Amino acid sequence: MQRPSEASQAESDSPSALEFNDREMRQKRIIAIDDEPVNLALAEAYLRHDGFERLEFYSDPQTALEVVRNDPPDLILLDLMMPKLDGLNFLKAIETTHNQLLAPVILLTASSDTEHRREALELGGADFLQKPILAEELIPRIRNVLSAQHFKTWLRDQNQRLEQLVQHRTKELERAQGLIIACLARAAEFRDELTGHHNMRVARYAGLIARNVGLPGELVRTIQAAAPLHDIGKVAVPDSILHKPGRLTPEERSLMERHTDWGRSIVEPEKKWGFIITDLTSGDAGQANADLLRVASRIAMSHHERWDGAGYPQGLAGTDIPVEARVVSVADVFDALSCKRPYKDAFPPEKCLAMIREQRGKQFDPDMVDAFEEAIPEVLWIQEILRDEAQ
């Protein structure tokens, strides 16, 4: 049995705008403000006759202003022309941001001055009534304004529910991405179990470097998520080369270096898989997938390029190397130096850091090295908690 979507559930849990009935409307709290007591008495008679009960009347606008500020009503009837504090200044006093008032306002005026009316509308006034007010005009205007306010509140609540749903779905997507990447990275580790937690450490180091060098927060998170796939191409490297304890021959090294291009191909499939990729990267959620794949592809392809142009596979130099690859390059080399491999013993952290510094401006982007040094205390802590059992 198919489970209803969360969006449908959110909609069913929300009150419908059509459920705003007469009984609910008559429970709304209305404040009337006019310096002429006879006008207040007339408004009260009309409102009570129509069934409104929560009514308050003020002939002093200053007193009414304090009441509205402390406890905003559901609607205000406001005389536009009053001594001491007129309707326009009253509207300015209860404005919050972007002409949003503490409560919807219907303005009452005996004047035909269109300039005052225009300014009142610009200040957020909801409607006008010409004095002397008539019941057949007052009651429908009040009902219209209350209904519009109810619908506005309903839309705001719906938007909040949808935003929460989007945030929930985004978190689910991020968790799914993390699981997929962890599976792929683990697949690579099965080919080379001596690397242990290498991919996890490189990801954490890369996140620290990206953060310290000042990259945008979303890119920092994407780099850290994609970094574990930097060596995914090694799944295609023969065991005889991958596990060889001695120095590789030129032919073997050439084959080993192809792991960068193989990694790009794995993360960024060929056109024959395009129909699948189109489905996975469509829509807002799919855009996050597409961004992650692009970053992972650039890292896999270019993390062995060098700042001086002597790297592989393309011989890129300087800022022609993708920034995410320059980040991962430092993290990858540091971790490789500090861990045991078939062809070398682990170096102590001080020696590893000295070797990284020595390659500043040669193998590595100087800014990335500086950012890495800034993170050394955190790097050493990560190295300790993610230490391989064999180390």
Name the residue with tokens 């408004």: 43
Residues ≥6 apart with Cβ < 8 Å to 270: none
3-state SS, residue 76: strand
Please report, as a single letter, which amino acid is at residue 151: F
Closest-CA residue to 106 (of 85, 84, 134, 77):
77
152 is catalytic: no
Q: Taking the C-alpha atoms of 114, 120, 121 and 123 in order, what is their torsion angle to the nearest 10 degrees?
A: 150
d(CA 150, CA 54): 17
Structure tokens at 279: 């489905």
Of the listed 84, 234, 244, 340, which one is catalytic? 234
Q: What ranges in 98-197 are assigned the alpha helix state H?
A: 114-122, 135-191
CA distance 282 to 297: 18
Structure tokens, 329: 């390059």
Dihedral (CA of 101, 105, 110, 116) sign: positive
Pairwise CA distance, residues 356 & 319, whole Å? 19
The residues carrying an active-site annotation are 234
